[in-house]
Amino acid sequence: MVTFGTPAATTVSASPPPARWVVRVAHLAALSAVPSGIWRITMGLGIPVGFDTRGLGVPGWFTVMCLAMSLGVEGLTLLTLGLVKPWGEVVPRRLPLIGGKRVAPLAAVIPAALGSAVLMLLTLPHARGFGGAQGAPTGPALVVMDACYAPLLLWGPLLGVVTISYYRRRVNRPDTNRPDTNSAAATGR
């Protein structure tokens, strides 16, 4: 069961902000699905991209499926931003029941880490190209399709990097209320 922590107003210390490079990596991860989404929507609208769509209901249900898949995938990539934005640490107040409460770090880390692993398992086998499916493009159209899908290869590893950073900021941080036992002052040397 996913739990949310105490209300943000009662929290003693906030997490440190993410490094600027991590924020850039999160944005890059969120953008990694845009080219494939555009290609998929183009195909779904019946614009020739080299994929054989005869008998797939274009325009029709296949168009709706392509739009829904593209929007769904982009929505999932945008969740990466929650690992570097305030709404990934404190639930926005506008949400009923849980609004204003701190997000339990593992409630974000576990799904993000699993998502990163699954993405790498699904995409890395296609590092040499995304063709090969029945009706897939060949020749220059395949090159265009591969170029559109290639950024998806980055999504899993980039999500992994951002997830590790989030974990380190939220879970694996030193307790600022505890005296530093490693310093010379604390040991009396």
pLDDT tens digit string along 51-68? 877 777 778 888 999 999
Q: Which residue has the tokens 């499916």?
A: 133
* Residue 135 CB-half CA count within 13 A: 9
Nearest-angstrom CA–CA distance, 164 and 149: 25
CB contact set of 30 (below 8 Å; sequence gap of 6+): 77, 78, 80, 81
Nearest to 30 by CA among 70, 91, 90, 75: 75
CB contact set of 83 (below 8 Å; sequence gap of 6+): 18, 26, 108, 112, 162, 163, 165, 166
Taking only the tens place, the pLDDT of each residue in 86-135 is 999 998 999 888 888 999 999 999 999 999 999 999 988 888 877 777 77
pTM of the model: 0.79
Pair 162, 25: CB distance under 8 Å: yes
Taking only the tens place, the pLDDT of each residue in 140-188 is 988 898 999 999 999 999 999 999 999 999 987 655 444 444 444 444 4
DSSP 128: T
